[in-house]
């Protein structure tokens, strides 16, 4: 078992290190994952639209939160895929299940996003 990258780090230095690792993760997602780029661009466009159209504050908040959730879920889905592929590139039903479950989570998230847009637009 390898040593934690946080071992011996405390206080503000630990926070700075964690921020650096998070930025590295975002860069890796952008550089290596087309789906991450797609949901990120969708989020940017959606957030711009949310501020450009007349929405109640609660509607704007749930739409923006839902866009951010799609980014979070895609990062987790990409992490699952990378971990599975690192373990083995050989086809296995459990590897397929893990990848399919990550994909299903993103589908649920995108369905939620569409529902939140509909609620924000038509629900007031």
Residue 91 in marked binding region: yes
- Looking up tokens 């590139």, which residue turns up? 89
Residue 7 in marked binding region: no
Tokens linked to 54: 């007349």
Catalytically annotated residues: 74
Residue 6 dihedral angles phi and psi, to the nearest 5°:
-95, -5
Residue 103 in marked binding region: yes
Give CA separation, 67 vs 2, 14, 39, 97, 110, in Å: 35, 29, 8, 25, 8
Residue 74 in marked binding region: yes
Residue 3 in marked binding region: no
Binding-site annotation: residue ranges: 14, 21, 33, 60, 74, 81, 90-92, 99-100, 103
Binding-site annotation: residue ranges for substrate: 14, 60, 74, 103
Binding-site annotation: residue ranges for a divalent metal cation: 33, 81
């Amino acid at each position: 078992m390898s040593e934690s990258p946080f071992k011996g780090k405390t206080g503000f230095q630990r926070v700075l290190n964690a921020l650096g690792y998070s930025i590295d993760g975002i860069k890796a997602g952008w550089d290596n994952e087309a789906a991450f780029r797609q949901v990120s661009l969708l989020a940017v466009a959606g957030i711009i639209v949310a501020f450009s159209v007349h929405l109640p504050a609660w509607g704007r908040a749930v739409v923006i939160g839902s866009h951010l959730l799609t980014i979070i879920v895609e990062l987790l889905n990409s992490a699952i895929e990378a971990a599975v592929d690192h373990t083995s590139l050989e086809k296995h039903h459990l590897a397929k299940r893990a990848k399919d479950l990550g994909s299903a989570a993103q589908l649920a998230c995108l369905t939620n996003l569409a529902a939140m847009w509909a609620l924000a637009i038509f629900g007031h």
